[in-house]
Structure 1
C-alpha cells in the first residue's frame, strides 16, 4: 500500500499503525515479565519518541509504573548513513546506579548507538540494562549488540514514519514505511 506523504513523496507502508499498536502491547507484556513493574525507561531521541510514548502507555496498561528519562544520541547527522561515531547531544538526568534500565530505540541497524547507550548506562552502575527496538535490520550490525525485545524485523530499506525521519521529514506519519523511488 502506498500513501502520498508530505512534500509529494510516495511512501509504501511496511508496518501499519494497527500492526504497530498490537506489537507494542505484546512488547510491554514481555518487558513487564522480564524487568518487573518499575524500570527506568530511557528512550534514545529523536527517532524513538513516538514508539517510546506508545510503549510507556502500554507498560502502564500491563501494570508497570516506569520512571522515564531521555538521552539524545546521534550517529547520522542529516544524512541516511551512519557516520560511525556516536555523539551525546543530550544526556540523562535520572540516577542510574542500582536500577533496572530499559533503553528504547527506533531501529537496530549498525548497532553503534544502542551499544554505546547500553555501555554508558552500565558504566553508570545500572543493576541491569535491557534494550527494546521497534525495528531490527538483520545483517547490518557493525558492532556486537542484540536487542532484548524487538518489534519487527525490517527489510534493508531506509524507513520513515512513526518517529523516524530523513533529513527531519516524515516523523509524524502514523506507520512505518519507505519512500518509493
Structure 2
C-alpha cells in the first residue's frame, strides 16, 4: 500500500482571500460598464466564485458566464491550438468583460479567449488570473490582474487538479512525492 502524497501549501486560504478582495477593489475603481465575468472552466471555478462575491462586496453587480477551452484535451502538452468545448451564451457587444482563469502559463488559451470576445464586440476585455507563471509564455499576453506569481511547479487545489483529484482543497499547493515516486509526470498545469 502506498502512502497518500503530501500536499505542500504554496498559497493558503487567508492569502488567497486577501488578494481576491484587493483585486475586486482594483476592478471596482475602473467603473466597469455592464460587467460580464467570464470564467474559464474548469480550473477557475473556485477563484471565479470568490472573486464574484468580492466584486459584489466592492459594489459591483456583474453577470456571470462560463466558457470551457482546451489546448490540451487528453494530452499532457499543449497542442498549440485552442478548442472551444463550451461557449458563452450571452451577447458581449458593448460590454466590459472580465475574463477569469486559474493559471497563465503559455498564454494561448487566455489570448484566444480575449481576442474572441473582443472580435465579438466587447467594449473592453480585461483578464484576471489567480496564478501567473511568467517564464512559460509562448504568446504575447499580459494579464490585467494577477493573484500571485507562481513558481514553475505543478499546482493543485482551489479548483485545480491532477487526474480530477484535489480540486476541493481550499488552498493552492504542490503534490510532494517520495523518492521512489515518478515526479516527472507532474511538471505542467493544463
Relative to the length of structure 1, the TM-score reads 0.93
Query: CA–CA distance in 2 between the matches of 1:35 and 1:118?
Result: 20
SS of 1:22 mapped into structure 2:
helix
Change beyond 3 A, Cα 1:166–1:78: farther
Matched residue, 1:93: 89
Change beyond 3 A, Cα 1:35–1:45: farther
SS of 1:94 mapped into structure 2:
coil
Contact 2:23–2:145 (Cα < 8 Å) also in 1: yes
Q: Which aligned pairs between 1:1-181 and structure 2 lie closer than 5 A? A: 8-36=4-32, 38-181=34-177
Task: After TM superposition, give the deviation of residue 77 of structure 1 in Å.
Answer: 2.6
Structure with the greater alpha carbon radius of gyration: 2
Give the superposed CA RMSD.
1.4
Query: CA–CA distance in 2 between the matches of 1:140 and 1:23?
Result: 23
Change beyond 3 A, Cα 1:37–1:54: farther
Query: CA–CA distance in 2 between the matches of 1:176 and 1:80?
Result: 20
Contact 2:37–2:62 (Cα < 8 Å) also in 1: yes
Contact 1:78–1:168 (Cα < 8 Å) also in 2: no
Task: After TM superposition, give the deviation of residue 37 of structure 1 in Å.
Answer: 6.5
SS of 1:70 mapped into structure 2:
strand
Query: CA–CA distance in 2 between the matches of 1:81 and 1:178?
Result: 19
Relative to the length of structure 2, the TM-score reads 0.88
1:139-161 Cα offsets, whole Å, 9 max, x none, are: 11000001000000000101110
Task: After TM superposition, give the deviation of residue 26 of structure 1 in Å.
Answer: 0.3
